[in-house]
Each structure stands twice: as structure tokens, then as C-alpha cells.
Amino acid sequence: MSLVKEMKADKLNVKIYADRASMGAAAAAECAAVIRDMLSKKDEINMIFAAAPSQDEFLAALAADKSVDFTKINAFHMDEYIGLDAAAPQGFGNFLRDRLFGVVPFKSVNYLNGNAADPEAEAARYSKLLADNPTDIVCMGIGENGHIAFNDPPVADFKDAKLVKIVELEHMCRNQQVNDGCFATIDEVPTHALSLTVPALMKPAYVFCIVPAPTKAQAVYDTINNTEISEKCPATILRTHDNATLYLEPASAAKL
């Protein structure tokens, strides 16, 4: 699928494709192969998905893959704004419902509620769901500031005791939502969110990380080349995972 280059950064597999479409298709095909293999050995699996325009090509290709038995998959998502109108298209649950959760017949879909009366109780509820249904696969991206989910550098903790927590969003993270075309101005972007923690994202057996766009080029460079694996660039933790693959295209790989 138009693979241009392949390399390693510590344990992290890195694959660069000719364009966004082939990048998304390749990530979906490799994810589908892992899903089929896992379902040959167990009755059902649990998956976490990211919600962002960077995931569009991947989500479309995965949803169209007829070899995947979605009726044996329990779906989760990795973050949600706090206080955003429940019907807002920028809501991550709504984003995934439109592109995947409402398109294919999952065994179950488990939504984070950013409008819960008690966000701490909501974080605890979702944490229990994740603990009771250990994740097999996570499909994610990387933010402009190197975040994974909403674990921005100031709040990321590689040894976090929690699975889900309330976070304050860094300015660069909020500005990314404007750059992505999700909000017209930064003032419209919520300041807080519920987010799965770094340990919650690193526990699954497989990580598929899809990262297109020129706005991610510096974060990709830092993820791969930073000498130190630390919360200063949260995505560097991917280099410690036994089965993580980073999928790129020319724009996001421009600084490599």
C-alpha cells in the first residue's frame, strides 16, 4: 500500500506511506489482521479509539473491512470534552458515532459522558468499565504538543495510578482543535476534559498510532528522536511498547 520507508525507534515500528489514503488503509488492514487473529483465540475483544480528523482515513477503511466481525468487539473512546453541548459535532463520542460506532455493529459501545453532573464519578465509572474489560487494542494519534489522548505535557504521568482522570487542556492542545477545523476560535474550545491516562493507553497488547498532517511534523520528530523518553513529549512512551506501530505520510514525516 505505497509503503515509502520503514524504520524503528527503540521498540516502536515506524512506517511512512505515500499519502494519507494509503497510510489509513495500511493501518486499517494491519489492525484488522490483529483483530482476526485475536478473535480466533477468544470470543470477544475490547478496543479504544481516538476521535480526530487525523483518524478519518483509518476509521473509514476499518469500517469498510468486511473481514472484521464487529459484533465481537466492545468499543471505547479515549477522551471527551467537559461541558460541551451534548449534540455538538466536536464531541468525541459524536465524532466516532458518525464515523464508526454508528456505522458498524459493535457488540457494545461505551461512551464517556462529558456532561455528567459529577465528572469525578464519571471518571470512576469509566475506569471500572476499562478495568472490567481489559483493552486488547488501542487506535490513536499524537497531538501537536506530543500528547496522547488528552495527556498534555503538564498533566501526563507515565506512572499514573488512575485509568481515567479530569485534565486541564494546554493552550497548544486547544489551539490544535482550531487548526484541525473543529472550532472557529480557541475561545470556543473547552478548557477541561476527561481523558484516559498514559498507563491506560499503554496496557493494550497492540497500539496502532495514525499521524498525518504537516502540523504534526515536529511532534513526530520529537517522538522518534528525543533522547529522553519522558512526559515532556508524552508520545515518546510509544517507544517502550512491545507492539506499537506509528503510521505516517510525507507531511507528518517531513522532519525525519
Note the pTM of the prediction, 2 decimals.
0.96
Give every strand in the sheet of 164-168, ordered side by side.
Answer: 79-81, 192-196, 164-168
| Cβ neighbour number for residue 71 with a 10 Å cutoff | 11
Closest C-alpha to 58, from 179, 148, 141: 141
Domain ranges in the chain are 3-248
Query: What are the φ/ψ torsions at residue 81 (nearest 5 degrees)?
Result: -65, 150
CATH class for the region spanning 3-248: alpha beta
Walk along the chain (256 residues) and give the pLDDT tens digit of each residue.
Answer: 699 999 999 999 999 999 999 999 999 999 999 999 999 999 999 999 999 999 999 999 999 999 999 999 999 999 999 999 899 988 999 999 999 999 999 999 999 999 999 999 999 999 999 999 999 999 999 999 999 999 999 999 999 999 999 999 999 899 899 888 889 999 999 899 999 999 999 999 999 999 999 999 999 999 999 999 999 999 999 999 999 999 999 999 999 9
pLDDT value for 1: 63
